[in-house]
């Protein structure tokens, strides 16, 4: 167990659990129908594990997140800010509405609030049955420290950060060739370059062109959108593990595969699929951030000024403002729609005792854009990540929080920020960009519909 994990476990064992301020209320049938139909169903339809293009386009046209936020804000007001209990088939969920409730769920993970919910186990087992997110408490004892150590969770810049930035440069070169030829690129061209970067960062340069691995992973992720309802493709998953294992057996220096091999090769093959999955979400966040940067000259100028020319003999720059732009993109348009937890035993919440296996739901977009908590809810304000305004805000969960927070946060932000800075240097414009040039920003943006061109091109 890593020192970081040990410290957290020790703190959790002695800390008095934060009491819930309000008792969960059972919603009326009509209220429950609104939560299911206008909040949860659109999120499920878009695809929690891999986005469905038609559904995400529909969500943007109808501004689905704005509707969901209005529904939850109205119910919070009506029920005096109490958690909202709702039944979905045989499952019982509690949708929390207060930051302190979010804090309790995240700080008290993995016990008594486990990240390995029934829904996540059904979905993620399609392509990462040994992933730490769906591991039992016993399995987490060695899988979580492995992830923290390999990803160097507590370091702003990974020891192999220079190699990661080199991978970014090669990805930008791929997009540049298309820009120089056509003067434009779309979301699909971006993701093609992004996957080249991700494969190199995670598995090394030899994996950069392995689109068959990506195709297998995405097929399994599409199955995962259906959770328990879709049959398992065991042979396809074994092929995914075989391909990943081929890169892990002789890992290239400067890749996460090498760091994983040092941390525990036997564990690595079960954890790498989640790293690839998480990086895909980071690509969506980077693409949306790029659209805002391209639409706002003043933001672009700050990004370029911060990046500056690379200094010889120094490691990759931290780029705090550019990182904050990526974080602000995730705040405005969360890539994880909901943070889920499941109680491992009977849980006292207010004046109620909730049974074991109760599901708890944190709707990210509701908390991220809650005007009751932040005046800039719908504005692009990366400065709030730098001046302390967002510090300690448990309603902001771009990388979750508490003992189960994403250990890859800093690696993701390093790669995403350097890609954003390098693409900003190309003076891009975004099609349909007027709505991104001013505040307030739309509640839902379909990243798959974004298109870019070089300034001055037709």
| CA 190/CA 39 separation, integer angstroms | 30
Helix (H, G, I), strand (E, B) or coil at 25: strand
The percent of residues in the chain predicted with pLDDT above 70, rounded, is: 94
- On the question of pLDDT at 456 being above 80, the answer is no
pLDDT in tens, 246-269: 999 999 999 999 999 888 877 899
Q: What angle do CA 179, 335, 299 make, to 5 degrees?
A: 50
Compare 263 and 301 and report the one with higher pLDDT. 301
| CA 336/CA 274 separation, integer angstroms | 14
- On the question of pLDDT at 291 being above 50, the answer is yes
pLDDT at 309: 73
pLDDT at 314: 64
pLDDT in tens, 381-391: 999 999 999 99
pLDDT at 16: 36
Pairing of strands 428-430, 451-454: antiparallel
Pairing of strands 347-349, 359-363: unpaired
pLDDT at 43: 98
- On the question of pLDDT at 432 being above 90, the answer is no
Which H or E run includes 324? helix 320-332
Average pLDDT for residues 320-349, to the nearest whole number?
98
- On the question of pLDDT at 427 being above 60, the answer is yes
Query: Is residue 194 a contact partner of residue 284, using CB atoms and an 8 Å limit?
Result: no
Q: Compute the mean pLDDT over every residue in the chain, rounded to the nearest whole number.
A: 93
């Amino acid at each position: 167990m890593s020192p970081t994990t040990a410290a957290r476990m020790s703190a959790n064992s002695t800390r008095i659990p934060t009491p819930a301020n309000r008792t969960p209320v059972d919603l009326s049938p009509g209220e429950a129908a609104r939560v299911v139909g206008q909040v949860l169903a659109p999120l499920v339809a878009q695809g929690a594990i891999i986005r469905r293009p038609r559904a995400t386009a529909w969500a943007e046209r109808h501004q689905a997140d704005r509707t969901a936020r209005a529904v939850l804000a109205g119910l919070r007001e009506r029920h005096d800010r109490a958690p909202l209990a709702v039944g979905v088939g045989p499952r019982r969920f509690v949708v929390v509405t207060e930051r302190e409730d979010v804090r309790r769920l995240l700080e008290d993970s993995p016990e008594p609030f486990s990240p390995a919910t029934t829904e996540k186990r059904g979905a993620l087992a399609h392509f990462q049955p040994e992933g730490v997110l769906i591991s039992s408490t016993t399995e987490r004892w060695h899988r979580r420290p492995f992830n923290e150590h390999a990803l160097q969770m507590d370091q702003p810049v990974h020891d192999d950060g220079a190699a990661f930035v080199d991978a970014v440069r090669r990805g930008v070169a791929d997009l540049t060739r298309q820009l120089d030829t056509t003067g434009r690129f779309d979301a699909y061209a971006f993701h093609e370059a992004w996957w080249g970067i991700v494969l190199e960062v995670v598995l090394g340069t030899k994996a950069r062109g392995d689109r068959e691995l990506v195709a297998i992973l995405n097929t399994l992720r599409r199955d995962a959108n259906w959770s328990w309802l879709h049959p398992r493709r065991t042979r396809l998953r074994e092929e995914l593990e075989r391909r990943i294992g081929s890169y892990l057996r002789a890992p290239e220096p400067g890749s996460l595969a090498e760091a994983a091999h040092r941390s525990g090769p036997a564990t690595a093959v079960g954890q790498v699929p989640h790293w690839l999955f998480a990086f895909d979400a980071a690509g969506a966040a980077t693409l949306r951030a790029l659209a805002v940067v391209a639409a706002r000259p003043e933001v672009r100028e700050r990004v370029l000024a911060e990046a500056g020319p690379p200094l010889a003999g120094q490691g990759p720059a931290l780029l705090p403002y550019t990182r904050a732009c990526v974080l602000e993109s995730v705040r405005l348009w969360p890539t994880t729609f909901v943070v889920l937890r499941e109680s491992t035993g009977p849980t006292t919440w207010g004046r109620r005792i909730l049974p074991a296996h109760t599901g708890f739901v944190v709707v990210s977009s509701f908390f991220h854009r809650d005007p009751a908590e932040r005046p800039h809810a719908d504005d692009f304000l990366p400065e709030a990540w730098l001046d302390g305004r967002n510090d300690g805000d448990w309603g902001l969960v771009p990388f979750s929080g508490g003992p189960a927070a994403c250990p890859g946060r800093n690696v993701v932000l390093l790669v995403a920020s350097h890609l954003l800075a390098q693409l900003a240097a190309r003076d891009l414009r975004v099609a349909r960009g007027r709505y991104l040039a001013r505040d307030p920003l739309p509640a839902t943006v379909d990243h798959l519909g974004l298109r870019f061109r070089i300034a001055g091109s037709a």
